[in-house]
Amino acid sequence: MGLCGGGTQICAPGRRPEGSAIKRELEDAADAAEDVTNSRALELMARAGFAVSGLLHFLVGAIAIRLAMGGSGNADFSGAVSELASQPAGPFLLWASFAACASLAIWQASDAIFDYNRLPTKDKAGKKATAAAQALVFAGLSLTLVSFAMGTGSGGDNRQSASDITVLVLKAPGGVILLVLVGLGMAITGIIYAVRGIKKAFKKHLTMPASPTARTAVTVLGVAGYVAKGIVLLLAGALIAIAALGAHPDQSTGLDGGLRALRDQPFGVYLLAAVGVGLICYGLYMVVRARLAKM
């Protein structure tokens, strides 16, 4: 037996001191990680990530309007990144956008790990799950951006990869049920986005400007943008579910497929153009959010 805690407590030699030291080291490492993720530098980069997301949504909306007018393009994020890459300063824009989106992914992951711990269990779980989901979304954008920056991406990547993933999942045990659930989840997320827009729930995440005119402009952009993004997610989720139930993986083509399906409906050209305008509004809203977001 050995002595611990000033010689007054008997314990197994080395066990408790070693365990306490490891625990302290883990706590110190967690505190250091939290300090880094709450740094001003990372916050500025994370805010830039909102702006990059806004730019990409703006480009997707512009491509959607182009499709409505009979033009070409892929109305998804790989198509938007392809447009970005084609600019004169393309490589710089891609790497800068990657750094911003990666920083926002880290910031959201930090929220999921460290924040909301003092909230009631139900509220804490919901907010942590939302932050984790946002971290995954921006991590996905980061991967798309870095693939183009390294020259391995193409404008049709999302459309083809969506079909390829669908094929793989359909072949797996329970794949049809899983894909239907994914499609329903995406569709429900779209409905949630639309409801948030209609109820103006997004305003709680912003420090609204003092000017009444500016407040009205931000609100209009948010409502139009959230409703439009909700419609796109609803269409994309419905296509995934339909592709799974009909065993037609080629129909699962992500955002681009959803918008093209909308164009094929009665008055679809006008609906697609309206959704494109809405996505542009959402893009502008996200740029504003980069400045006004409560971090």
Return the pLDDT at 2: 47
Q: How far apart are CA 54 and CA 37, in angstroms?
A: 22
Lowest-confidence pick of 14-23, 142-151, 262-271: 14-23
User: Above 50 in pLDDT, residue 93?
Assistant: yes
DSSP 90-112: HHHHHHHHHHHHHHHHHHHHHHH
User: Above 70 in pLDDT, residue 165?
Assistant: no
Lowest-confidence pick of 100-104, 143-147, 165-169, 202-206: 165-169
Return the pLDDT at 201: 93
Return the pLDDT at 123: 74
Name, of 33-42, 75-84, 125-134, 281-290, the range with top average pLDDT. 281-290
75 or 21, greater pLDDT = 75
All structural domains of the chain with their residue ranges? 13-292
Return the pLDDT at 72: 80
For the chain, give the percent of residues with pLDDT over 70. Answer: 76
Q: How far apart are CA 165 and CA 179, in angstroms?
A: 10
Stretch 262-266: mean pLDDT, rounded?
A: 79
Return the pLDDT at 280: 94
Contact present, 57 and 277 (Cβ < 8 Å): no
The three-state secondary structure class of 188 is: helix
Return the pLDDT at 4: 53
Contact present, 42 and 106 (Cβ < 8 Å): yes
Q: How far apart are CA 279 and CA 284, in angstroms?
A: 9
Taking only the tens place, the pLDDT of each residue in 180-194 is: 888 888 899 999 999
Beta bridge partners of 3: 10
Report which of 97, 112, 108, 83 is spatially closest to residue 49, judged by C-alpha positions.
97
Q: How far apart are CA 66 and CA 73, in angstroms?
A: 8
Both tokens of 18, joined, read 């070693």
Return the pLDDT at 40: 85
Return the pLDDT at 142: 93
Stretch 50-68: mean pLDDT, rounded?
A: 93
User: Above 50 in pLDDT, residue 1?
Assistant: no
Both tokens of 162, joined, read 């969506």
Q: How far apart are CA 95 and CA 149, in angstroms?
A: 6
Q: How far apart are CA 252 and CA 187, in angstroms?
A: 13
Return the pLDDT at 36: 57
Q: How far apart are CA 271 and CA 259, in angstroms?
A: 9
Report which of 288, 287, 121 is spatially closest to residue 207, judged by C-alpha positions.
288
Report which of 33, 50, 161 is spatially closest to residue 105, judged by C-alpha positions.
50
User: Above 60 in pLDDT, residue 10?
Assistant: no
Taking only the tens place, the pLDDT of each residue in 82-92 is: 888 888 888 99
Return the pLDDT at 156: 54
Name, of 31-40, 122-131, 195-204, 248-257, the range with top average pLDDT. 195-204
Return the pLDDT at 238: 82
Both tokens of 41, joined, read 């530098």
Taking only the tens place, the pLDDT of each residue in 123-159 is: 778 888 888 989 999 998 999 899 898 887 665 555 5
